[in-house]
Amino acid sequence: MFIRFRIPQLIRVIGQSDETSLEREATFNRTHGAKLNCRLLLQIDRVQSKEDGDRSYKSGEGFIQITISDDGNEPGLEPLVQKTPPRRELGELLVEIGNRCIQALRNIGWISQLHELSPARYEELTFRRLQLQSSTDGSNWENVADPNESMTELIAEFSELPLLQVDDWPRIADALKETNPYYLPDQFMVNAKEHLLHRNYRLAILETVIGLEVQLAEVLDEHLFFQTFMPKKERADFLSPELPLRQRLRLLFLILRDDDLKRFDMDKVIKVVEWRNGLVHGRKRRRSPTRADLPEELKELKEPDREKKVREHLWELETLFGVLLRHELDLGSADGSGIIAKKIKEL
């Protein structure tokens, strides 16, 4: 049996201008409990070709649809669908698999407006919102609940739709296949983007710097090992907390290519680190911090100038994060072109 539903959030998707299609799919298995096969499909409508200065790209809007199928063995999906409302077990299954997909999309695609489904309610309203359907053959579908409810209330109230870049899809697909995917640096970065949406600049600054710190530590550690074969103990000593973040960032001039260094403004990156240091070490300890606690140079600005300055500076950290991620992927390139592959061949 098959069931399918959509994550109730409209998403804007962009890709290269030469993309034949912006639609993507990924498959994974649910192995604990009853074995189920899952297929994630990015459905896109209204695709347009656009230009932004010298850059051309394709843009579209759509939803994420998830299809679940059993292997035909009992008990399978049919008993969950055929139960009389409220179908709690069916709701629990949709929340479990839906949130697995949402975590990958949110953390790797940095879709800050996308939140996990709540396990608190499993009424028919939930199934209507998810546009849940069932099928015995995967071709002819029937609604599990009345689908006529408007989807308008489910779309985020922000002025801009959540944005997903199709270039991130391979990492999303890989993460879905892992039992315990590693999202740590990305989690901080996507949380920071959400704080920025709500103009909580203090938390946006703190989480962006933490995310960059984690990614930078991973890249420096891997680079030192595979470029110098420095033992783990010596690497840990060299990269100890006694080496300030500013100095760690300066090491990038030794390991990144010139074209990568030109992609971000190091001075603005250092400035955000200084903001973070002031927020962490400069506040008075007799009270808890609030969102009003900001660096003095930001306090002096009024909206929208304050938001513009924060966004401009945090953008440089996001860009550097992407540069570090690509450098890390290059270190571990499996096709023999990456630094790690080359070093292993020399052993």
Mind listing the pLDDT tens digit of every residue in the chain (347 residues)?
999 999 988 899 999 988 888 999 999 998 766 789 999 999 998 888 988 877 889 999 999 999 999 977 777 898 888 887 778 888 888 989 999 999 999 999 999 988 888 766 556 667 877 889 999 999 999 998 765 544 444 444 444 678 899 999 999 999 999 888 888 899 999 999 999 989 999 999 999 999 999 999 999 998 888 887 888 899 899 888 888 999 999 999 999 999 999 999 999 999 999 999 999 887 555 567 777 789 999 999 999 999 999 999 999 999 999 999 888 878 765 443 444 444 444 44
Nearest to 186, CA basis, from 39, 325, 28: 325
Q: Are β-strands 133-135 and 2-16 bridged in parallel, bridged antiparallel, or unpaired?
A: antiparallel
Cα separations (Å) of 249 from 204, 280, 317, 327?
20, 19, 11, 14
- The two tokens of residue 188 are 């901080």
Cβ neighbours of residue 306 closer than 8 Å, sequence gap 6 or more: 201, 298
Separation between Cα atoms, residue 340 and residue 236, nearest integer Å:
19
Separation between Cα atoms, residue 275 and residue 295, nearest integer Å:
6
Cβ neighbours of residue 176 closer than 8 Å, sequence gap 6 or more: 26, 28, 38, 40, 100, 101, 104
